Every structure is written in C-alpha cells, then in structure tokens.
Amino acid sequence: MFRSVVGLLLALLALTSPVRGEEATPLQSPDYVGSATCAGCHQDVTARWQTSDHAKAWTEATAENIVADFNDTTFAHDGMTAAFHIDGDGTYRITVTEKDGTTRDYPVHSVAGIEPLQQYLLETEPGRLQSFDVVWDTKKQRWFHLYPDQDLPPNDGLHWTGPYKNWNGRCAVCHSTGYEKNYDPQTKRYASTEVEIGVGCEACHGPGSAHVASAKEWDAKGSAPLPNAGFAVDFSDPETTIQQCAGCHSRREPLQAGSPAPGTPYHDAYNLSLLMPGLYHADGQVQDEVYVYGSFLQSKMYEKGVSCTDCHEPHTMQLVAEGNAVCTQCHSPAGNPAFPSLRQAEYDSPDHHFHEPGNSGAACKNCHMVEHVYMGNDWRADHSFRIPRPDLSAKTGSPDACTTCHSDRPPAWAASVIAEHYPDSDHRGPHYGEIFAESRSDPAGTTSDLSALAADPKTAGIVRATALAYLGQSGNPALADQASPLLADEDPLVRASAVDLQRLLPPQERADRLVPLLSDPARTVRIAAARAMLDVPMQALASDASDDLRRAMDDWQTSMASRLDYPETHLQLAGIALTRRDWPAATAAFREVVDMDPQRVEAWVMLTRIAAALQGPTNARTVLDEALQANPTDPTLNALKHQMGPR
C-alpha cells in the first residue's frame, strides 16, 4: 500500500526529473558552534538569554529543570490515570493507565517549557517523542489535563500518542536549534537530531562559525570583519527581524523538513494560515491557537514599521518596560521620532480610556490586545492592536474587548458608551469583518465586496489574501479574470491566493496566466502555481515553461515529502491522485490517513465510494463497517450507511 503513496509523490507530483541547468558551486555554509561558544565572548547577553523562555523551551529531564511534583503523585481523568514518581537512580517516570485498561511506564525523556505550565515528553517507541496531555500548572502547583472536555481513547488521532501530539513533527523545530526531523515514511520511524535542545543563539542568528572565525581574525590581525559580523540574519532591518520571529510565532505549514536556515524569507519556508473560520473570528481576532504573526500583519503597528524588538527585549523575551510604559514610549505627547506619522497625544489618561488609573480598564493591552487562554492556563495577547468595535459584534459574531471585562453588559451598551465618549470618531466605519462574516455563509453573495477588498492596496495583505480565498469558494470563473492583476501584487500572500483563484479557469487558459508565477521569488507562490497546473498537459507548454513547471513541482514535492508524518499531507496526496484518476494511489493515500487518524471521516467516505465504484457494494460496506467501528456515532457515516441500504 505505502509504495503506491510514495509512487504518487515521486512519480506523479514530480512528473519527470526536474531540469536544474548549470548551477554554481555553492559557498561553504557556516557551521553551528553552540550557545556555549557564544557565551565565551557575549557573557552579558548570555546571562539575559539564560533566564528566557527560549532557553527553557526544551530541556533535559533533570531535577534542576523539572518543577512538577513527582513524589508519588497521581492524576485521574475520564478513566485515565497517571502516576508520577522518581526511581532510585533519579529517573523521573510516568506510569499511564489508559481508558482501555492498558498500563505502561515511561521514563520522562525531556521537558517542554517552564511557565505557566510545564509539559513532559515521553518516548513511546525508539526516536518518537510524544507530548503528554497531563501537565503541571506552575502557578497553582497542580497537575491538570490540557483537554478536559474531550473524549480521547487510545485509538483516537487526538490522543496524546497520536500524530497531532507528536513532538518530532509538530513541535521540536521551534523548541530547538538546528533541528532535523529525519522521518522515514517506510518504517514510520524518526531519527531526529538537533544541534542543541532549546532555542539557542544560533536558532535566531544562524550558524556562528564564520562569526567566530571573523572575530578571531579581527583580534589577531585587525582585519575588517565580515558583513553583518558573519551571520545570516541582519537584525537591523525590521522586516527581517519580524520574519525571523514569525517562523515560530505563527500558524503555518512548513515547506521543508527541519529548521530553515535563519534568514530564510518567511514565504520561502512557510505557508501562512489565512483568516479562516476556526482559526480567526470573522473580524480577524484570534480564535484558535494561531500565535502572533497573522494577527500582527493586520495591525497599524506592522504597517508603520514597528518590529517585535520595539516592544520585546530579544534575549530575555521580556517587555522593554512595565505596563503602559511599553505603549507610551511611542503613544504619548512626545511621540517617537522613529515613527513620525504617529499622532502625538496623551493616551495614558482617563481622558482617553475613561477608567480610574490603576484599574484594569486603564491598561492599554486590555482594550487593544485582548488576551485568550490556550493550553489550559496560558494567556496570550492578540497582536492585531485593534480599536475596540463592540458596534460590530452583532454583525460579525466576534467578541469585543469591552464586554470581555464587562461581561454583564451587552455589546450594544459598550458601543453606546464609546459613541458617547468619542462622538466624532473616524474609527467606526466599514470593517472587513462585516464582509467576512457574510462570506462565511454565502461567499457567492458577497463577491463584489470581496473583490473590492482584495484589490484595496491600503488593506493588510493577509486580509486581501483571505478575501481572495473566499472568492475561490464562489465557483465563478469571471472572478479569476477580475483578480488577475493581483498575480503581480507585491505581497506573496496575495499572489499565492490569486493563483489559487485561477483554478476556476479551464486548464489551458489557467496555464497561460500562471506560467510567470512558476518562477516567482517566493516558494509559497511557486508551489501554489504548481498545484494549480497539476492537470495541465506538459506538451501544452513551451519548453522553458515546462522546465519552470518541473522546478516548481520539485518545490512542491520537497514540501510534501517533508510532511509525510502528517495525516493532512496524505489527504493532499489523495486529492492529487483523484485529480489524475489514479484510484490505487488515492486508495493508498486515504488508507494512510485513517491509519494515522481513524477519525478523519472525509477519508473514510472516499475509501467507501472508491470501493463501491471499483469493487462493488459488498466491499464498500466492509470499508464502511470499518469506518463505523472507529466512529460509531458519526452522522455522515451513518447517513452513508442508510443510503447504501442493507447488505
């Protein structure tokens, strides 16, 4: 079965061996030297970094690092029991009795995080690390379950031993330095490596051997240092800084295995999630755990050139000042010469916020950076820095900052109070959240507004890209023509979404329009173009375009191959196989999905339908019975069973 999936990836997606042409001999890349080497010269910076969450993002399972109570404590939840203890040799262990009665004892492999919770990683088979769902609350000093409302038996894909809680594939790259996943899809085993666990100096600055050599030469001979001190990342550039932080602080799909080289442009390394249902509220406020970048891109702060390090000290990760002083370093009567367009005014005053000083309502972040709790007790702020709009709540269904605190009051009350305080405000006009809210239920009925939003250069790129994504759901080919100028937009997010919209066109017309995008500077755009041209016959293209298509397909192949431990990837492979009418490969890919995650009902439905078409109703019912055994109450599967009738 698996050979069919590999064949699909390597043969169908790549089409033929990519044409690479003449390539220059690459310069020798710098090597990692480790944070301990950096500490030899940069002692003050190292001391600050050692106190940070970055340094403690992933640590060894030692008494110094583990803060939880392992002194024969237990935690029980929904039929599962975890017992925490320490062996005579000092090994920290967790004995887990699952809902099905099976018991297994695990040594704690390593530790994730330090506050407000600490999580423990268990090696369930050689090389495979899983994030255990029972974690330690460092503030309340107690054990708790991350998902107390979910029924998670061992055969559920969301169980702590399942693919979505796998540390190697889902988490380690952002908790380590110089990480390589090294997943073998044939054995389904990991042989992961890293330069060091934890986010060390070189995770952000890049490998340091050239810097070290340059520094030694400077001391010995007084020769000129290398550009940017021998590092790959130039943190003097705000956009470079933002993109370097965004690599981990975003909800995204990786385009390559392991750690991208620091300094890699974001859109060469990742495909950023847009403002879609389940991730963001209709107005762009955070909903699921989307981290920071997608929010920040919506903000006026980002538009005006504010960088992460304007507010966060990069080595301690702490704010650069206490409380409102972070904001008033710019938002004050004195302003900030680095941002000359900023209105100079008094903001940290009851005349602005209409709350008593010291009251929670007087804190800038409580109105402009509403916090949400993730992972049980971890409060994180929305970085879109939005002005409260309770007047939009009835239209968008989104929460608002005012009634987050004044929970006994409706949004209409909050809207009237703001209107009273700011009767002449110019911040109560139309908002893209109104369009998105309507588009979520009726994308075909909002195409005019979506098209105008997508074409508006004053609107944030992530918003415009989301508008294009909704237009793609309309099924109207005329919209692809209308949006074609956006294929040349300066924002890679917009270009990639505009490419996806062209899939509404017939293959040849689509190909004529997308050929230039196959050599786009951003890998995420090239991959979007390759996807959109999957059904375009190679012979329909000129020779140079065929070469570009092969190269773009190679990008796509590399991206897919880096995520073969994801059920989502095999769903994509199945879709490719369906496009090419390769039924054995589609069956193999869908089967791989349900082997990894038996709750992926969409894969079961397709397996049943393919079996019905190729093997007859008896075989289809056998597949459906297997699906129902894993998902006995699922309405879609039960409806399909009813449609198929008795045996």
Residue 24 reports pLDDT greater than 80 = no
Residue 245 lies in a domain: no
For tokens 């966060």, the residue is 312
In angstroms, rounded to a whole number, what is the distance separating the alpha carbons of residues 95 and 82?
Answer: 6
Give the β-pairing of 103-112 and 142-145.
unpaired
In angstroms, rounded to a whole number, what is the distance separating the alpha carbons of residues 456 and 434?
Answer: 16
Same domain, 8 and 99: no
- What is the token pair recorded at 580? 């090419």
Residue 222 pLDDT class (50, 70, 90 cuts): low
| Lowest-pLDDT choice from 24-28, 129-133, 249-253, 625-629 | 24-28
Going by C-alpha positions, the residue among 444, 439, 376 that lies closest to residue 133 is 376
Angle (CA) 395 396 398, round 5°: 130
Same domain, 580 and 636: yes
The DSSP H or E segment spanning 387 is: none
Residue pair 497/465 in contact (Cβ under 8 Å)? The answer is: yes
Residues recorded for the chain: 647
Q: What are the pLDDT digits (tens) for 501-557? A: 999 999 989 999 999 999 999 999 999 999 999 988 878 788 889 999 999 999 999
Residue 164 lies in a domain: yes
Structural domains counted in the chain: 2
The DSSP H or E segment spanning 296 is: helix 293-296
- What is the token pair recorded at 319? 């704010």
Model pTM above 0.85: yes
- What is the token pair recorded at 239? 């956009």
**What CATH number does the domain containing 622 carry?**
1.25.40.10
Residue pair 216/244 in contact (Cβ under 8 Å)? The answer is: no
- The percentage of the chain sitting over the pLDDT mark of 90, rounded to a whole number, equals 87
Q: What are the pLDDT digits (tens) for 82-103? A: 999 999 999 999 999 999 999 9
Task: Among 139, 174, 209, give the residue marking a domain's end.
Answer: 174
589 is in which domain, residue-wise?
2-16+564-644
Residue 329 lies in a domain: no
Residue 22 pLDDT class (50, 70, 90 cuts): very low
Other beta carbons less than 10 A from residue 409's beta carbon? 13
Strands (E) located in 174-274: 176-177, 183-184, 189-190, 196-197, 252-254, 270-272
What are the b/e assignments for 625-646, b being 16+ CB within 10 Å?
Answer: eebbebbeebeebeebbeeeee
Mean pLDDT of 59-68: 98
- The percentage of the chain sitting over the pLDDT mark of 70, rounded to a whole number, equals 94
Residue 221 pLDDT class (50, 70, 90 cuts): low
At residue 276, what is the residue type? M
- What is the token pair recorded at 204? 């952000």
Q: What are the pLDDT digits (tens) for 277-319? A: 999 999 999 999 999 999 999 999 999 999 999 999 999 999 9
Mean pLDDT of 166-171: 97
Residue pair 369/382 in contact (Cβ under 8 Å)? The answer is: yes
- What angle in degrees, to the nearest 10, is found between the helix axes of 601-615 and 583-596? 150
Classify burial at 475, counting beta carbons within 10 Å of its beta carbon; exposed 0-12, middle 13-18, buried 19 or more. Answer: exposed
Angle (CA) 197 200 201, round 5°: 160
- Distances in Å between the Cα of 180 and the Cα atoms of 43, 176, 196 are 28, 10, 11
**Could you give the residue ranges of the DSSP H alpha helices within 425-460?**
432-439, 447-455
| Lowest-pLDDT choice from 290-304, 329-343, 391-405, 532-546 | 532-546
Same domain, 10 and 108: no
Same domain, 10 and 90: no
Other beta carbons less than 10 A from residue 320's beta carbon? 14
Q: What is the 3-state secondary structure (H, E, C) of 525-588?
A: HHHHHHHHCCCCCHHHCCHHHHHHHHHHHHHHHHHHHCCCCCHHHHHHHHHHHHHCCCHHHHHH
Residue 4 reports pLDDT greater than 60 = no
- What is the token pair recorded at 407? 């929970």
Q: What are the pLDDT digits (tens) for 555-590? A: 999 999 999 999 999 999 999 999 989 999 999 999
Residue 226 pLDDT class (50, 70, 90 cuts): confident
Task: Among 141, 174, 207, give the residue marking a domain's end.
Answer: 174
Residue 224 lies in a domain: no
Same domain, 144 and 94: yes
End-to-end CA distance of the chain: 27
Same domain, 11 and 117: no
Residue 586 lies in a domain: yes
At residue 488, what is the residue type? A
For tokens 């929904």, the residue is 78
Same domain, 162 and 77: yes
Residue 223 pLDDT class (50, 70, 90 cuts): low
Q: What is the pLDDT of residue 227?
A: 80
Task: Among 153, 174, 195, give the residue marking a domain's end.
Answer: 174
- What is the token pair recorded at 144? 């708790």
Residue 11 lies in a domain: yes
Q: What is the pLDDT of residue 224?
A: 58
Same domain, 166 and 78: yes
